[in-house]
Chains A and B, each alone.
Chain A
Amino acid sequence: VRETLGADPPGLLERLRAGDRDAFETLVISYQHRVFGVALRMLGSRAEAEEIAQEVFLRAHRALGEFRGEARLSTWLYAIASRLCLNRLASPDRRVARGDDALADVPAPLPDAAAAVERAELDAALRQAIAELPEERRIVLVLRDLEGLSYEEIAEALALELNTVRSRLHRARQQLREKLERFA
């Protein structure tokens, strides 16, 4: 079950700013899966995703003083994560690791083999289709449909106009719909 994007843990920001060491740990515990999830879907490799996710929190740790506190901590972390992922994807020396494990599936009980085959095929197709999206569309789709951010939050995290978010998301979904036609 997807974690719903709730408010930041109460008082966390104040504790972080006061240099409370436990507060940083709370921050990492609260957001580790979401930050890692974005990195995994963007980069496709668990090892690379962990490296980037770790870097996201270390940067946040160093830059806490600059955090304006207008946005939510989560939006801020998503912004750092998105930027680091896009930078990594744009770096010329990045080894080409096409997403072999970019997506997890639903480990729900599967009554019969036919359903399992179908789900496995769907997972593979989804993974492939998302990995093939252009990066600037992929990040919008990931933040919206996998992480549950609002259009406004995405616009803020990616420093984009609201309309740009809307049209990129529209194109990303359109592209997925065409690729996943046989499953829909």
Chain B
Amino acid sequence: MSCAESRDLLSAHVDGALAPDERAALEAHLAGCAECRRELAALERTVALVRAIEPARAPAGFVDRVVTAARPTPWSTRLARRLFVPWPKIPLEAAALLLVAGLAVMLFRGSVDQQRLARHESAPPAAEAPATTQEPARQVAPPAEAPRPMTERPTPAPSALDGARPRSDTGAKVQAPASERARAPVEEEKRAEPTKDSSSEAAVGELRRDGAESQTRERAAESDRVARSAAQRPAAPAAPPPAGAAGTATPLSRTGPGTGIPAPPPDVTARLRTADVTGAERALSELAARVGGRRTGRRIDGGLVVVELAVPGDAYAGFLREAAGLGALSVERQATERPVLNVAITVSN
């Protein structure tokens, strides 16, 4: 057996997965080849490193989320769906569309009438004919204010809200010269068109939402996100910092003692012994900032200062190496699984 042939069998040999004859041939080769023996040893070490990786754990609440998502829809929901889908949905959508469209037309018309009325009432006699286009906008402006309260009246349905938007344009338009004003109603009618579409689309989207099932899933995902973001929040200071100890303000936290929300355990817990506690504390904050992290908190635990830092996972090894230069550093717990690590370092002398 050549070395090349032998190398191809080493990986399976590590698993004891060779056929008896292959194994015998390989072992005969290994007995006489130091190079291949070294190769086998290196491969075994590599496999051991990979197998020493801590198994991943599914996030908390995973089982509940899966079971909820898999649960068959209750009969009441199924019945409701069969009864109302799809037929009554269409008239409902059509009604919503008509309502929105009708409302928009009414409001626009109302505002146009008001504009005309206002113009007739307050414009000087010479300006009465719309043909007098030279009239400066400034003179028209005060009476043109009149229709605006009408156009800005609260709209009855939320879906009509989008349709209301261009009407603020209308307010601006009435202040324009009369020549433009004459075109305005036509433009407003045109502009009303796309608005109708988008608001009816929104209404349709609302109606198509697929009932309890997807909403439950969304809620579950939402509550999980909240829980997760809560878990990532830094711990609160246990006590106010004593006078003289790095008097910088500590960000308030919504977890930790006193808030009723337990703070998550940090990913890394370490102890730093140094003669200059205040200096080391500052140096740690600076170090965290330098590697792209930041100080997230500070508390007193058993009379000792605990500095809490957020350190990017990929910069953690470098951070640790430099932190070890600040004094006698011992790491008590270390989990580098997250992209950003919560590091709690107790500084004492």
- Which of A's residues lie within 8 Å of B, judged by CB? 2-3, 21, 24-25, 28-29, 32-37, 40-41, 46, 49-50, 53-54, 57-58, 61, 100-101, 103-107, 109-117, 119-124, 126, 130, 141, 144-146, 151, 166-167, 169-170, 173-174, 176-177, 180-181, 183-184
Q: Indicate if the CB atoms of A141 and B50 lie closer than 8 Å.
A: yes
**A126 contact set on B, CB distance < 8 A:** 49-50, 53
Contact of A2 among B11, B55, B67, B338 (CB under 8 A): B55
When the two chains form their complex, are residues B332 and A170 in contact, meaning their CB atoms are under 8 A apart? Answer: no
Which chain B residues border A145 with CB–CB below 8 Å?
47, 50-51
Cβ-based interface call for B337 (8 A): yes
Chain B residues in 8 Å Cβ range of A41: 56
Residue from the list B56, B316, B338 in contact with A40, Cβ < 8 A: B56
Chain B neighbourhood of A105, CB < 8 A: 53-54, 334-337
Among the stretches B83-91, B192-200, B323-331, the one at the interface with A is B323-331
Kindly report which residue of chain B lies nearest to residue A128, judged by CB atoms.
B314
**Distance in angstroms between the alpha carbons of A106 and B51 in the assembled complex:** 11
Alpha-carbon gap, A104 to B336, bound state (A): 7
In the complex the two chains form, what is the Cα distance from A117 to B320 in whole Å? 6
The one of A3, A54, A112, A151 that contacts B62, using a Cβ cutoff of 8 Å: A54
Docked-complex contact B54 and A113, CB < 8 angstroms: no
State which of B43, B67, B314, B329 has its C-beta within 8 Å of the C-beta of A173: B43
A37 to chain B, nearest CB (A): 4
Chain B 331-349, CB within 8 Å of chain A: the 1/0 string? 1111111110000000000
Q: CB of B21 within 8 A of chain A?
A: no
Which A residues are in CB contact (< 8 Å) with B43? Answer: 173-174, 177
Known: A24-B70, A111-B330. A166 touches B54 (CB 8 A): no
| Chain B hits for A32, CB < 8 A | 58, 62-63, 66
CA distance A130 to B46 in the complex (A): 12
Give chain B's interface secondary structure class: helix
CA A162 to CA B210, docked complex, whole Å: 45
A-chain residues with CB within 8 Å of residue B11 when the two chains form the complex: 166, 169-170, 173-174
Docked Cα-Cα span, A179 to B312, in Å, equals 23
Contact B334 A120 (CB under 8 A): yes
Known: A33-B57, A58-B70, A170-B12. A116 touches B62 (CB 8 A): no
Which residues of A have CB within 8 Å of B53?
A: 103-106, 126, 146
Name the residue on A nearest B59 (C-beta).
Answer: A50
* Contact status B57-A110, CB under 8 Å: no
**Does B321 sit at the interface, judged by CB under 8 A?**
yes
Q: By CB atoms of chain A within 10 A, which of B46, B70, B329 has the most?
A: B46
Q: Is B226 an interface residue when CB atoms closer than 8 A count as contact?
A: no
Contact at B46–A173, with CB atoms within 8 Å?
Answer: yes
Q: How far is the CA of A120 from the CA of B334 in the complex (A)?
A: 8
A61 to chain B, nearest CB (A): 5
Given contacts A54-B65, A101-B337, A166-B12, 14 further A-B contacts (CB under 8 A): A32-B62, A33-B55, A53-B62, A104-B55, A104-B57, A107-B334, A107-B335, A116-B270, A116-B320, A119-B334, A146-B53, A173-B46, A177-B46, A180-B49
Give B24-48 interface residues, CB cut-off 8 Å to A: 42-43, 45-47
Interface pair B49/A146, CB less than 8 Å apart: no
